Structure 1
């Protein structure tokens, strides 16, 4: 029983620490894609650089296209020919739709590769 109480306490503390990472004005996120289907994302970071680096770590260093955003959602769509598009908006669906629209300008069979939202 003691271990369960400690685990729950650790989870509550971790949640509180994560919630405090964003500043009062800007909460950064990032989405990225790379060769071979690599992708990464980040959300709830206090700085643009931290969000960018977290997305790159998610790609295991293989992202060659990373886009950042704050207090919103971002998405990248990829076409079957390698073309891609990105978008940001106040909702996941709107960001995905924007990314798909731009992707279709450069290729066919576009699909959302990655998305993230930062409050």
Structure 2
């Protein structure tokens, strides 16, 4: 006798995805989400979004970047962007939208007449 397991497996898959989504949504509430970007030597970079606390955002961004990362910027809500110069100097910008945050980071770099590139731009939900 052949049994068809596709429907139960499909249901289990849907339930698992709902549980995962619910856990992520519980990490923070709209308007109260912490984000962080991290940068380190040799162009290492990392970020995290939508964490419930600032320390959690800091730790996760640092882990996603690597142990050698020593600059971590934490921000609540909105968007953040990280630009770095060829020399490795990091410039951080904030804004209400991705393009505004990226422009802010690049403007901070431009004040010192540096040639920079945008490395990371991320936003809260």
- List gaps (5 residues or longer) in structure 1: none
For residues 85-114 of structure 1, the C-alpha deviation after alignment (integer angstroms, 9 at most, x for no partner) is: 111111111111101111223453311111
Paired with 1:5 and 1:108, the residues of 2 have a C-alpha distance of 54
- CA gap 1:24/1:94 in 2 versus in 1, 3 angstroms: closer
Q: Post-superposition, which runs of at least 4 consecutive aligned residues in structure 1 deviate over 3 A?
A: none
- State the shift of 1:24 in Å: 5.6
Report if the CA contact (8 A) 2:43-2:88 is conserved: no
- Are 2:119 and 1:100 equivalent residues in the alignment? no
- CA gap 1:97/1:24 in 2 versus in 1, 3 angstroms: closer
Measured on the aligned residues, the alpha-carbon RMSD in Å equals 1.5
Q: 2:63 aligns with which of 34, 57, 60?
A: 57
Counterpart of 1:86 in structure 2 is 92
- List gaps (5 residues or longer) in structure 2: 1-5
Rg bigger for which structure? 2
- Are 2:79 and 1:70 equivalent residues in the alignment? no
- How many aligned residue pairs are there? 119
What TM-score, normalized by structure 2, do the two folds share? 0.87
